[in-house]
Amino acid sequence: MATKNGSLQPLLVVGSIAFDSVKTPLGTAKKVIGGSSVYFSSAARFFASVKMIGVVGTDFPQSHLDDLKKLGIDTSGIVTHRGKTFHWKGFYEGDMNQAHTLKTDLNVFAQFRPVLSASDRNHEHVFLANIDPNLQMSVLKQVAKPRWIACDTMNYWIESQKSALLDVLKHVDISFMNDAEIRQLSGHSNLLRAARWVMKLGPSIVIVKKGEHGVLCVWKNRVFLFPAYLLEDVIDPTGAGDSFAGGFLGYLSRHKNAGEKEIKNALAHGAIVASFNVQSFGNERLAKLSQEEITSRYGFYKKMISLV
């Protein structure tokens, strides 16, 4: 576990910390803890020593922060501002591959400008989780010499802050987007063309998430396709992308080289932790997850994708 192993690499994340209200074909959840950086951190903690940067409102229960701390996540970079916590309301239907947003209340995130401490600035691994690209950029400018920076985004920011997002992508090593988002941003309906278009902006690894169909990863002149770990009991796909990124980047941060073997294993670990995440609303399943369960499911996954 991340909390017990001093050798884990530090990983800094900025992103949304939210109340989510979600409806899926299997149920409804009102104002459960969510947000891109919560899902990311709940997954990445198994592989890295995670520090969250973000803001919550005065309505955010201290018990939620305590629960994150109990998972071994460093929450000292989360500040409380007067006002309401970010709130996202959405629903999924059919194959649940697409989130439909009903409401995005930025609330305290609208005015938030993070100031990194001296030690935060020295982080080598940084994840700019889904949030306003201007805020992602302000974190990016404060980190001194990162080994790699990764970022994620979504349609909301592609529509409202496209040029700021393109600026962020110029400084990023690894990009995450889902299929609809990368098509929307690049204007290419062919996913390989869309990924190559993003690569030209800056990232050397482009990951396209395709819901239950897994991910496409483009690196140098190579293309990797990894399936999702399929389950019959998908309760809520919210956070699947963020927890995938947590598994992927957490795994990668443990390796000095990011070659084919490491990238493929990182993709597999992303798929595994994301598969646990979709088995509950909020981060409930991830919060209960054990290293043993990850290892066991990884064994099944390897057999599932192996040719022999």
Can you give the binding site for ligand AMP, defined by CB under 6 A?
16, 18, 20, 34-36, 39, 88, 99, 104, 130-131, 154, 156, 238-242
In angstroms, give the least distance from the CB of 154 to ligand AMP: 6
In angstroms, give the least distance from the CB of 118 to ligand AMP: 27
In angstroms, give the least distance from the CB of 99 to ligand AMP: 6
In angstroms, give the least distance from the CB of 107 to ligand AMP: 11
Q: How do strand 49-57 and strand 100-105 relate by DSSP bridges?
A: unpaired
Rounded to whole angstroms, the Cα distance separating 69 from 284 reads: 14
Closer to ligand AMP by Cβ: residue 3 or 104: 104
In angstroms, give the least distance from the CB of 6 to ligand AMP: 30
Rounded to whole angstroms, the Cα distance separating 77 from 115 reads: 9
Q: Which two tokens stand for residue 150?
A: 């990764």
Q: Which two tokens stand for residue 281?
A: 């609303």
Closer to ligand AMP by Cβ: residue 36 or 186: 36
Does the CA dihedral 292-282-27-228 come out positive or negative?
negative
Closer to ligand AMP by Cβ: residue 98 or 122: 98
Closer to ligand AMP by Cβ: residue 221 or 236: 236
In angstroms, give the least distance from the CB of 165 to ligand AMP: 12
Closer to ligand AMP by Cβ: residue 240 or 273: 240
Closer to ligand AMP by Cβ: residue 144 or 158: 158
